[in-house]
Structure 1
């Protein structure tokens, strides 16, 4: 399933619950209602040795890098407002501090486990964003995740393997720490640890649903209006995953290039082209090059709103990937909005030939937002995935509600994976407090086991 978003736009710097999402390469749009947050200190880790020496960039990577970095060369120096930002002290005083909390209880009943999982976790965030000084500004954000009340779950690092997995490990870290520089003419450069999102987060996102967000050590360049084009380039050196520092794949080094360029057409929609070149240092089976295009739009017809999205991408192995990858991605979605009710039908295909590793994968995505909230398809099976879904959403009084039905099949091998029903409810008490409920029921046919999940949370903005 898809979520709303726009390519190449900086995301606001606060999480979606109590602070705007971080400014990144696009607006983060898969936020969940109600989020509790606070992270504390984790230093930027030193570069660790790798089994693989850092390889020189390929021709395609060099072309992307040269194209991205040459964008601002012809721009005039940024103009500064003489009445603002002349003093570094004034810029620091003009900054803002923010803090928010999210407490969530998650229950998982999965066939194959003797015990159900029950996880009660508190996410807390404390951050500071400076004002601008001579075009420079910065942000630091600490995050902590703490089990409170219910600890019968496998966090992937706590050793509780008798229980189903709930990926909310205990931990304290620096979630974001970056410097922004306004280059002029709307061009912006960001360097440091940051949350990133592109388009609907199918390929790149912060996984805001989980208590430990995903962030990236990266350099990003934003070009908002280049001859009618909106462009974003990101070079990623390391990803800090939702699994936390104690997990072997919690922090992964890479040499990854992400280029996303879009153009809007008034009254029709937005066309986007992208190239995502992922090159992992150690987890080399996830090294791929992906090239794709997307078109998404909306038309108003009297009292009826029509929505449509079409996207295609081709993926091949890259770097030291030992597998031969020749995979495809296709998304087709249509929807109608009438008197506050939205109906959406869609099909998403991630190919898989059945050969080991020859499947379409998106390891840097906000994966929870796609293919069901039971999270059974975070990794694409070698036989691929076809997801046909129907969603109805709207408001029941003051409560936002969405009901989605999925049918999952393989791309090859003729396997019926099963079907899933998802329900979400969200209620905003005021500008600082929100609560939510989520339910997922997956009924397996072949190759999987039945799973039921229930989640309830409350989010409070403190500053």
Structure 2
């Protein structure tokens, strides 16, 4: 018994010595979500039936800090309930690394971060985490940051390959971008926040059967936000140029929101987004449709994901006018957002006649309830009232009921922390 006491005391002594000036915490996120999809992302066809399922994110997050060194490791499993048998010996999706990075703070102003990490800036229109998606979004990158008071400059770099190759591959790398470089600068003047982004993305393609090339697309612009008493406003302006699959790129984006807090609990805002596109009778090979690239696109242009969530690329563009109504009461939050969609460029019918530009109206209703500190429940109902023009672009039948229902519970406990 005496020996056990000595061993135990020695063990705790070693922990105390090793953990001096160190911080470590571990947390979990368990997030099951039920969805009923009936015309989600595209109008449902007469021959199709609605579907429902439960997906789940299970994430373990480890953070460590020692003096100037910070590290993070986030592991996750994404599953659909029932995608493996109850007696399975292996998981279908297994465990994936969501984040795995190390950051060194050279001083109070300079730092560098290397590894798998989230790149999220401003309102996440161009670079975001896409947290709604169970898998999220992260990048293998290096980021150098200069952040004196009220200013921040981030320089990011990435180079991707499909394996540790011995020689240059003979097939194009298409998993994601081949290379990425960006500069993001943010400054604050009293109540005005201003950001500038310049990003260069390279995508590899096969120009011929034996000739692989990388075309580079530039995305550049600014994001402004201003708050004054009960008012808040934000504005985003971006352009795109360069090349894509050996074609010229010339596209642009504009988005604005004006918000006003009617009371301490009720807020309303009016917004508009314009994403450039291309007329269907335009014979030019140029890409004129703006692409939000790595943005959290689910948070824009309606929650039913009809536009720019893995779809509507190189299309006729989009005009989206919307109104947001938000109400908060104790632990409850309610939100209602109607969207009015239209095509800013020509859509042709089967006989090459110009169609009406109106695409449809979507209504999004969501509610959130903070059950406890680490438990949040949320739910939503959305419905798309589509037009014949939307039918032409997306297929399906606008006369059918096209709606989407979801219910989600998020458990986010911190399971261990020490300093």
Pairwise same-fold verdict (TM > 0.5): yes
Matched, 1:324 2:266: no
How many Å separate the matches in 2 of 1:276 and 1:327? 14
Q: Deviations over 1:104-163 (max 9, x none)?
A: 011100212522121211210112111214x22211111001222599xxxxxxxxxxxx
Contact 1:253 1:282 in 2 (8 A): no
Q: Does the CA contact (< 8 Å) of 2:205 and 2:245 recur in 1?
A: no
Higher gyration radius (CA): 2
Deviation at 1:178, TM superposition (A): 0.7
List aligned pairs for 1:204-353, cutoff 5 A.
204-225=127-148, 229-238=151-160, 251-267=175-191, 269-282=192-205, 287-300=216-229, 305-318=230-243, 321-339=245-263, 340-353=265-278
For 1:175, which of 95, 98, 101 is the aligned residue?
98
Q: 2:79 aligned with 1:143, yes or no?
A: no
Greater strand share, 1 or 2?
2
Deviations 1:176-217 (A, max 9, x none): 111110011322210000112011000011110011111100
Shift of 1:408: 0.7
**Distance of 1:296 and 1:434 partners within structure 2:** 29
Choose the corresponding residue for 1:411, options 331, 344, 347: 344
Residue pair 2:183, 2:199 contacting (<8 A) in 1 also: yes
Instruction: Show the 5 A alignment for 1:84-163.
Output: 89-90=18-19, 94-110=23-39, 111-112=44-45, 114-133=48-67, 135-148=68-81
SS in structure 1 at match of 2:49:
coil
Change (3 A) 1:338 1:252: same
Offset of residue 262 of structure 1: 1.8
Mapped partners of 2:38, 2:216: distance in 1: 34
- Paired with 1:427 and 1:265, the residues of 2 have a C-alpha distance of 35
Question: Would the aligned equivalents of 2:158 and 2:179 in 1 still touch at CA under 8 Å?
Answer: yes
Report the TM-score when normalising by structure 1.
0.69
Distance 1:232 1:421, change over 3 A: same
Distance in 2, matches of 1:92 and 1:249, equals 44
The 8 Å contact of residues 121 and 145 in structure 1, kept in 2 or not, is answered as yes
Any unmatched runs of 5+ in structure 1? 1-86, 152-168, 241-247
After TM superposition, give the deviation of residue 291 of structure 1 in Å: 1.5
Task: Map residues 46-61 of structure 1 onto 2, 5 A cutoff.
Answer: none
CA contact (8 A) 1:195 1:205 kept: yes
Backbone CA RMSD of aligned residues: 2.8
Please say if residues 256 and 280 of structure 1, whose CA atoms lie closer than 8 Å, have aligned partners that are also in contact. no
Shift of 1:343: 0.7
Describe the shift of the 1:288–1:99 C-alpha distance in structure 2 as closer, same or farther (beyond 3 A): same
Per the TM alignment, residue 432 of structure 1 is displaced from its structure 2 partner at its CA by 0.8
1:374 paired residue number: 304
CA gap of 1:132–1:89, structure 2 versus 1, over 3 A, is same
Pick closer, same or farther for the CA change 1:432–1:447 going to 2, 3 Å.
Answer: same
Alpha-carbon separation, structure 1, partners of 2:99 and 2:303: 26
Could you tell me which runs of 5 or more consecutive residues in structure 2 were left unpaired when the two chains were aligned: 1-15, 85-91, 163-171, 207-212, 347-355
Aligned residues: 345
* Distance in 2 (alpha carbons) for counterparts of 1:170 and 1:118: 20
Q: Is the 8 A contact 2:174 2:204 kept in 1?
A: no
- Alignment match of 1:423 (pick from 365, 372, 383): 365
